[in-house]
């Protein structure tokens, strides 16, 4: 059974991004948001270990000493404690998310093919003109005919789940008033600090810093889906635990996941929208390979999803998200790696004769998708 974990902030929250935060190096660091799947998996695995009564080890990273070590089911669920994403061992655990919640509704980053001009939204579409590039022939994203570049802006914001489903299914841009900004959910609350000598209580020169945690508004939460957790391993909620870079308190509730009815696409022109960052080895979708003509020129990229042969036509991918984390076992920062950001859009075309009924309306792609990376939904263009 798939369950929905709902995190209600009880204090400000701070999530580290790709900026360095070593002593004396950086003076101003803003919170990264939303928290990455890497952060979410750390919370889930910690809660399953510490709040269910399944583990009484003093050191949860070594399971020593623990009276329940030989009969422990939690370890089968969460895998090896302290696992780095480079060597994934997350057991049977399956996480999907996170997203923002507001008054019971789910909100996701706005797809990057949506643009704004003079208070109205429009969608980018693959240009009819083929452009030669270093990765082959591509049809670059283009504005609809008659829409000028002047006054056109990209959109950074949040779109409610039902509104996104209608957009993906109908390919009609929503009303601009339905796109919510960050300010609708949280405000930035800068805080200044300085390092002090623990013996003399005097401050140290060059160690002034400022961070910008987030203060969430009422009725706002962070939610994600968790599956493959046996009922006896799931904690009784509500649970108060710590979350984020400063270990601030949050309240956790777990309910049955009540998701929307997602329509299946029946169109050959398919839009794949990333709801979470994608852990890919390059710019292109995983397992998509270049197709060359007789002269060795790359004419397009092709691959398979759910057993359906697809051709990559164009993409709106945005700036790479740098995601790392903290290795609690080795007590060191994990290496930062580029990820395709949430909201990225891939324009695909099904090959002639393909059975589109095999395409599930949502799925995951890329690496580390069992902890939330690579979650996508299909639409049409």
pLDDT at 4 over 90: yes
At 217-254, the pLDDT tens digits run 999 999 999 999 988 888 887 899 999 988 899 999 99
Q: Which string of DSSP letters, residue by residue, matches 213-230?
A: -EEEPTTEEEEEEEES--
Asked if 318 and 354 sit in the same domain, the reply is yes
Query: Which residue has better confidence, 98 or 46?
Result: 98
Asked if 192 and 242 sit in the same domain, the reply is yes
At 160-178, the pLDDT tens digits run 999 999 999 999 999 999 9
Asked if 376 and 281 sit in the same domain, the reply is yes
Look at residue 155 and give its three-state secondary structure.
coil
pLDDT of residue 84: 52
Asked if 248 and 368 sit in the same domain, the reply is no
Asked if 124 and 245 sit in the same domain, the reply is no
Q: Which two tokens stand for residue 291?
A: 């197709």
The CB density around residue 317, as the number of other CB atoms within 10 Å, is: 18
Domain boundary among 256, 273, 289: 256
What is the pTM (predicted TM-score) of this model? 0.89
Q: Is the dihedral of CA 167, 123, 266, 136 positive or negative?
A: negative
Mark out the alpha helices in 62-146 (DSSP H runs).
74-78
Nearest Cα to 285, choosing from 201, 345, 343? 345
Question: Which CATH number does the domain housing residue 112 bear?
Answer: 2.60.40.4350
Q: What is the mean pLDDT of the chain?
A: 87
Asked if 272 and 322 sit in the same domain, the reply is yes
Asked if 159 and 295 sit in the same domain, the reply is yes
Per the structure, the count of domains in the chain is 2
| Size (the chain), residues | 381
Find the domain containing 154 and state its range: 105-183+262-380
At 325-352, the pLDDT tens digits run 777 667 777 778 889 999 999 999 999 9
Domain boundary among 195, 222, 256: 256
Asked if 99 and 16 sit in the same domain, the reply is yes
Asked if 22 and 95 sit in the same domain, the reply is yes
Asked if 21 and 100 sit in the same domain, the reply is yes
Q: Is the distance from CB of 223 to CB of 4 less than 8 angstroms?
A: yes
Asked if 122 and 268 sit in the same domain, the reply is yes
Q: Which two tokens stand for residue 359?
A: 């395409």
pLDDT of residue 53: 59
Domain boundary among 209, 232, 256: 256
Region class of 178: left (phi > 0), else alpha (psi between -120 and 50), else beta: alpha
pLDDT of residue 86: 54
Q: Is the distance from CB of 302 to CB of 291 less than 8 angstroms?
A: yes
Asked if 131 and 151 sit in the same domain, the reply is yes
C-alpha–C-alpha distance, residues 339 and 325, integer Å: 13
Instruction: Give Rg (Cα) of the chain.
Output: 23
pLDDT of residue 217: 96
Q: Is the distance from CB of 311 to CB of 339 less than 8 angstroms?
A: no
Q: Is the distance from CB of 122 to CB of 68 less than 8 angstroms?
A: no
pLDDT at 314 over 80: yes
Look at residue 254 and give its three-state secondary structure.
strand
pLDDT at 87 over 60: no
Q: What is the arithmetic mean of pLDDT over 305-325? A: 90
Counting other chains too, the contacts that 351-355 makes at CB distance below 8 Å and 24 or more residues apart are: 351/302, 351/309, 351/310, 351/311, 354/268, 354/308, 354/309, 354/310, 355/308
pLDDT of residue 18: 62
Looking at 2-58, which runs of residues are DSSP E strands?
3-9, 28-30
Nearest Cα to 113, choosing from 60, 81, 165, 154? 154
């Amino acid at each position: 059974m798939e369950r929905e974990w709902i995190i209600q902030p009880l204090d400000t929250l701070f999530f580290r991004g790709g900026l360095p935060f070593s002593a004396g190096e950086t003076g101003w660091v803003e919170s990264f948001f939303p928290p990455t799947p890497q952060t979410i998996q750390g919370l889930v695995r910690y809660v399953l270990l510490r709040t269910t009564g399944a583990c009484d080890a003093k050191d949860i990273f070594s399971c020593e000493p623990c009276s329940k070590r030989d009969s422990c089911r939690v370890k089968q669920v969460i895998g090896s404690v302290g696992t780095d994403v480079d060597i994934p061992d997350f057991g049977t655990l399956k996480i999907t998310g996170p997203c923002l919640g507001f008054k019971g509704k789910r909100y996701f980053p706005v797809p990057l093919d949506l643009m704004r001009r003079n208070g109205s939204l429009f969608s980018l579409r693959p240009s009819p003109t083929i452009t030669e590039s270093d990765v082959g022939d591509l049809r670059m994203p283009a504005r609809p005919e008659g829409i000028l570049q002047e006054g056109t802006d990209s959109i950074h914001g949040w779109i409610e789940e039902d509104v996104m489903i209608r957009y993906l299914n109908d390919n009609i841009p929503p009303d601009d008033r339905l796109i919510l900004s960050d300010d609708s959910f949280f405000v930035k609350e800068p805080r200044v600090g300085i390092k002090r000598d623990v013996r003399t209580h005097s401050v140290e020169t060059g160690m002034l810093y400022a961070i910008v945690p987030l203060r969430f508004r009422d009725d706002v939460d962070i939610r994600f889906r968790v599956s493959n957790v046996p009922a006896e391993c799931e904690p009784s909620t509500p649970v108060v635990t710590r979350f984020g870079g400063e270990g601030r308190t949050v309240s956790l509730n777990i309910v049955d996941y009540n998701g929307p009815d997602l329509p299946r696409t029946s169109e050959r022109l398919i839009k794949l929208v990333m709801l979470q960052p994608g852990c890919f080895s390059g710019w292109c979708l995983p397992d998509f390979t270049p197709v060359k003509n007789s002269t060795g020129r790359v004419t397009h990229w092709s691959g398979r999803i759910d057993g359906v042969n697809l051709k990559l036509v164009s993409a709106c991918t945005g700036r790479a998200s740098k995601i790392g984390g903290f290795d609690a076992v080795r007590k060191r920062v994990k290496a930062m790696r580029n990820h395709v950001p949430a909201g990225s859009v891939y324009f695909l075309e099904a090959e002639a004769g393909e059975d589109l009924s095999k395409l599930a309306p949502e799925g995951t792609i890329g690496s580390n998708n069992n902890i939330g990376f690579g979650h996508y939904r299909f639409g049409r263009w």
